Amino acid sequence: MAALALVDAAELMRLPEGGAQRLPQSRAQELTLEPGALVIDGDRIVGFEADETCRRVPCDGCSVVPGFVDCHTHLPFAGWRADE
């Protein structure tokens, strides 16, 4: 199956150069919002430029941002969820 390309987004959030497994608050200013495309193959981001083999999804005027994970917890669970 061809890679999926989200093209012509008005804003595409990018991680800092070199990526990050976890981005501490002190590095949050390194995120950038720029127009562009995002290419996905399976469950991986593989690039930021679509070629002719990609299935294209127009995202004119839209923002493409990472999926944020709700990692909050409640005091009764403090310490129990450290490995999540």
Confidence at residue 6, expressed as pLDDT on a 0 to 100 scale: 95
pLDDT > 80? residue 21: no
Instruction: Establish if 49 belongs to a structural domain.
Output: yes
> How confident is the model at residue 5, as a pLDDT?
96
Domain count across the chain: 1
Q: Is residue 63 part of a domain?
A: yes
Identity at 48, one-letter amino acid code: F
pLDDT of residue 32: 78
Whether 83 maps to a domain, the answer reads no
pTM of the full predicted structure?
0.66
pLDDT at 43: 87
Q: What is the pLDDT of residues 22-79, one digit of tens each?
A: 666 666 667 778 899 999 999 888 888 999 999 999 999 898 887 765 556 666 666 6
DSSP characters for the chain? -PPEEEEEEEEEEEPPTT--SS--GGGGGG-EEEEEEEEEETTEEEESS--TTSEEEE-BT-EE-PPPP-----GGGTTTTTT-
Q: Structural domain of residue 44, as residue ranges? A: 4-77
